Amino acid sequence: MTSDNDKKEKKDNDKPKIPEEQMVVTEHSVTIDGKLLEYTATTGTIILRDEVKKEEDKAKATIFYVSYTKKDGDLNRPITYSFNGGPGSSSVWMHLGLLGPKRVVSEDNAKAVKPPYQLIENNYSILDHTDLVFIDPVSTGYSRHVPGEDAKDFHGFKKDYESVGDFIRLWTTRNNRWGAPKFLIGESYGTTRASALSGYLQESYGMYLNGIMLISSILNFQTARFVAGNDLPFITFLPTYCATAHYHKKLDEELSKDLVKTLDEVREFTGNEYTLALMKGDRLDGEERENIITKLVKYTGLSREFIIQTNFRINIFQFTKELLRDQRKTVGRLDSRFTGIDRDATGGQFSYDPSYSVILGPYSSTLQDYIRRELKFESDMKYHILSNLYENWSYSDHQNQYVNVADTLRDSMTKNPFLKVFVANGYYDFATPFFATEYTFDHLSLDPSLRDNISMAYYEAGHMMYLHEASLAKQKKDLVNFINSAL
């Protein structure tokens, strides 16, 4: 006969096992700008729990993180929370490319690096000005939903920023950092997340931020969705087409002299003549039509025949295939300085993104070696550098409309007039084009008294502008200046 205690024990044994939190602390030093900085690295997981459901110990997910804090233990030192985008990306890119005390060795000539790959001290780290916490959202890195929960519950616009926000609140509380100045830094979809978080942290927890750093920004998805009836992306991508053609020497001699001057010229054309031409649609004809054709050829490096065939609307994937077709080469999406070779040179779009291919190996390899060897965190789980969540990501709160978090950011800045925003743009970025970002911020409807709270910088590189060391050096200065201004 089975006793009640045996039944209870069996029932408890049948419950999914909730993983325990982990934490590994190591001590390190790094030289930044000629000065030695001693710091503590903490690598581990924090369990998120459901505070709404009444069941005791209702765990939802384990969030993997790496934090770096200056060894003096100043709890009032600025703290910056960092994450990348995707959606589905781990925090590896800015961690080992831009912000952290170690960085991946990359070349400046837009060429692949030969394996095995190296990490070196990051002389451009911002750890000398702010402590850092790198966060991997659920299903990225080592972060996972717990047994019994559904991973899909975290794969959506709202649940994603809520879970990241709940982690930030919990980490801040456990580490006694509520009294410290707080910053967010997001890249790509991480800028969407950061803007949403500015409202969530403020409204849910009363956590007012000092600053948000947006690296390769996308807040209004209408600016980047090439679908019938939406002419906006053809406008917002055109200056990046021109920058790319400039880099690959496809422009005439006059336009090839000065990139910044050329882009100012193409901005003027794009925001006026080209926009009006697209508005006219099939009514565009005669001399005006010929003028648009001539200038599109001039600014893109594409042929007259191709421009006419596209009906003056050039899709990004058409451009990446067409620009160097005569050389049987394609250009990258994340960074159009990089080139690739497709098996079929006649196709309509590239078969792979050459700029992603050259960074995946170095960042994946070095991170997984670094976590285990130097940070002493051991796990046999697969570290998801970039999970394939993009196509199945839920935007249920934005049915029949484009995702647009720009108004959330405007609202946060209005309610917290001390909140400052820095925006970093790469000239060769086709994932989040700089002119699309300018369009978004030009339409923020922010009160004039707050517009100086926004600053922008530009780099002669792509989506991950820190791959280019000259841009990395400039970006370090820009971020430090921004942090100081926000304080």
Q: What is the dihedral of CA 314, 317, 322, 324, to 10 degrees?
A: 130
DSSP tag of 396 = G
Place of tokens 């989040």: 432
Q: Is the pLDDT of residue 2 over 70?
A: no
Whole-angstrom distance, CA of residue 258 vs CA of residue 242 = 12
pLDDT the model gives residue 6: 58
Whole-angstrom distance, CA of residue 163 vs CA of residue 284 = 49
H/E segment holding residue 61 = strand 59-70
Whole-angstrom distance, CA of residue 368 vs CA of residue 361 = 11
Topology, domain 16-222+359-486 = Rossmann fold (3.40.50)
pLDDT band at 19 (very low <50, low <70, confident <90, very high): confident
pLDDT band at 18 (very low <50, low <70, confident <90, very high): confident
Q: Which sequence spans correspond to the domains of the chain?
A: 16-222+359-486, 225-352
> pLDDT digits over 155-197, tens only?
999 999 999 999 999 999 999 999 999 999 999 999 999 999 9
Tokens found for residue 401: 């409309």
Q: How many helices (H) and strands (E) does the chain have?
A: 15, 14
For a pLDDT cut of 90, what percent of the chain falls above it? 86
pLDDT the model gives residue 319: 98
Whole-angstrom distance, CA of residue 224 vs CA of residue 230 = 9
Torsional sign, CA 334, 463, 374, 474: positive
Q: What is the dihedral of CA 223, 229, 235, 238, to 10 degrees?
A: 100
> pLDDT digits over 321-372, tens only?
999 999 999 999 999 999 999 999 998 889 999 999 999 999 999 999 999 9
pLDDT the model gives residue 52: 62
pLDDT band at 269 (very low <50, low <70, confident <90, very high): very high
pLDDT band at 137 (very low <50, low <70, confident <90, very high): very high
CA-based nearest residue to 44, from 321, 304, 377:
377
Q: Is the pLDDT of residue 199 over 80?
A: yes
pLDDT the model gives residue 267: 98
pLDDT band at 17 (very low <50, low <70, confident <90, very high): confident
The mean of the pLDDT values for the chain is 94
> pLDDT digits over 54-103, tens only?
455 688 999 999 999 999 889 999 999 999 999 999 999 999 999 999 99
3-class SS of residue 201: helix
Q: Tell me the H-state helices in 179-237.
A: 189-205, 232-236
- DSSP assignment of 232-300: HHHHHTHHHHHHHHHHTT-S-TTTTS-HHHHHHHHHHHIIIIIHHHHHHGGG--HHHHHHHHHHHHHHH
Q: Is the pLDDT of residue 14 over 80?
A: no
